[in-house]
Structure 1
């Protein structure tokens, strides 16, 4: 029988972090690097736990070259060939510890993945604690959390299914950490403050798509119109992506993504520095000397307005 859960679920836009007493004298004192030991595979990882999404307009080799300089992670999209992987690996050996191969679930996908690298068990996407627990107990190290919050995702509109991202992250992190597992907050971030909120809510990693789209290192066609440059950015379940890789939208399903033209932003390095600078500033406001401490120092307050709207540019 249908049931209504009357508990209010919240998104990043519904809250702000409450500032707290801090002894930090400078943002430069904040350590954003984290080290992880994964429950099931026993593998280790050290880096700044921000991930470029496994979309062909974001998770590119070009993106990985820049992100690895900052010790950020790239989930490389699954449409590179084995030969392309070999060439990249031979030319960029220092990047390999900061990237993973994305894969589908068909037999050819598994064969390709085995050829590229040993898979680090990850699973997703889910939004509830019980599914997180089931996946971790089934062997996954990291669970991707998020259904429908992405900037070019239309799943919620097409299906009516979803979960506000902040609440999803908080509930799933609680479930995962109780089993010594980890989660990735996937989607819903539109600014550095949202990334900080995801970490504050308990995310171990934060995956970004739209915030990294539109750069020189991003995939997607570069378009020039009326003297202005744009880059195409689309969801991997969009009609454009399915036409590109599957010959079109299968008659039994609907497209669950859209295509947008993102104003060209130039090199991604500036955006990365802006994101990392914002998170360091968050940590100083709440008194967290390390990123790992941020969730323990976080108190969210409900708000009705995030910013002063007098000027339309909220960047």
Structure 2
């Protein structure tokens, strides 16, 4: 139970990770004062900050809502007055809705506008060199997704080759780094635009850098880049998102997710990150279009990410070991396997001559995973799961899905119940 009203109904008790916090009503003015957070062995008195004393922000149309007692619901922003709250996909389920008009999952529309394209499947690849290659690009072209090509020595040559093989309308974004000088980044972006590229990803780990925002502003205002859609990231908070919106927007889409990837160790090495679902809620609430990046372990996680407000969902490790990933299959007595690595792993850093010293530590892992067969099977499960979630919610399209979705928090026992537990007794 997340909310519990007292006898008078004038305050709410929030239980977050075993801690109880008694606060005034979540809507309206938050008066200054102290709150008690009981942690089991001691009571911590905390002063509510002026920021928390301000009027609750206006809610966007797609603000996610949660089940509350007596059949009522509350928006996510009513739950986010305590910074320690940080939710992942496993912390929630989508609650089935009553009196829905969608009679079949075949009748829902999963398509979404994405930059210069319209995607039939709102899923894009992570820009990982052991996940993305020409075979994966071809599959995503066929199924209506979008490919993010990883950083490479000559992205212009790669883009030209793709236009020859797949045609000028190929749905592929190309990744570049943030150069030492904005001029060098602009020069590379112009070369990609001349090659027909319609979407460019500025691929760096910490999207909160001021120089990234400045560089994006220069890119957006350049007359030769007017037809290019820029994607940036990664970020995980609303305050980071607002830096891309004020005083004017400088990015069309932002990747949201810090430390949630299946091969990422940022939270262990740097101690930094935000639960992926909370990050999506917070950034989407600013109005900045979100690409949910990381944390997807099951097809249902894609549905949760889209319901939470993301425009599309980026997947990488979910595709590891599939036939379409680059690399050879090896069998050293442990079964057929394929190599996979994170873009911040020691393996990637060595291969790309990135120094590992006291200033930089690897924040990713590398290793071998069992061969899974075709990625088509996984993407079919993702598509079918999304359609099923939309039908449970009564949503005919993704815009309705975001408006109608209601989340419910789950217990540890529910996590066990979520599994096909007859085989786990």
**Could you say whether these structures have the same fold, taking a TM-score greater than 0.5 normalized by the shorter chain as the test?**
yes
Q: 1:141 aligns with which of 252, 277, 284?
A: 252
> How do 1:235-246 residues align onto structure 2 when only pairs under 5 Å count?
235-246=342-353
Partner of 1:224, secondary structure, is coil
Cα offset, 1:5, TM superposition: 4.8
Q: 1:196 aligns with which of 294, 303, 311?
A: 303
> How do 1:1-315 residues align onto structure 2 when only pairs under 5 Å count?
5-21=82-98, 22-36=100-114, 44-47=116-119, 48-79=121-152, 81=154, 82-93=156-167, 96=170, 98-106=171-179, 111-117=187-193, 118=197, 119=200, 120-136=229-245, 137-175=248-286, 177=287, 181-226=288-333, 228-246=335-353, 248-304=355-411, 305-306=414-415, 307-308=418-419, 309-311=421-423
TM-score (norm 2): 0.66
Partner of 2:330, secondary structure, is strand
Consecutive unaligned residues of structure 1, counting only runs of 5 or more, are: 37-42
Aligned length: 299
TM-score (norm 1): 0.88
Output the aligned Cα RMSD: 2.2
Partner of 1:162, secondary structure, is coil
Distance in 2 (CA, whole Å) between partners of 1:168 and 1:23 is: 31
Distance in 1 (CA, whole Å) between partners of 2:93 and 2:327 is: 33
Cα offset, 1:148, TM superposition: 0.2
Structure 1 contact 170–202 (Cα < 8 Å) conserved: yes
* Closer/same/farther in 2, CA of residues 250 and 230 from structure 1, 3 Å limit: same
Partner of 1:233, secondary structure, is strand
Deviations 1:160-191 (A, max 9, x none): 1100011110111011x2xxx31111100101
Distance in 2 (CA, whole Å) between partners of 1:104 and 1:310 is: 49
Partner of 1:222, secondary structure, is coil
Bigger proportion of residues as helix: 1
Distance in 2 (CA, whole Å) between partners of 1:227 and 1:10 is: 36
Higher relative contact order (CA 8 A, sep 6+): 1
Partner of 1:257, secondary structure, is coil
Deviations 1:137-161 (A, max 9, x none): 3511111111000000000000111
Structure 1 contact 104–110 (Cα < 8 Å) conserved: no
Cα offset, 1:227, TM superposition: 6.1
Higher mean C-alpha deviation, range 196-205 or range 262-271: 262-271
Cα offset, 1:293, TM superposition: 1.5
* Closer/same/farther in 2, CA of residues 213 and 252 from structure 1, 3 Å limit: same
Distance in 1 (CA, whole Å) between partners of 2:349 and 2:232 is: 22
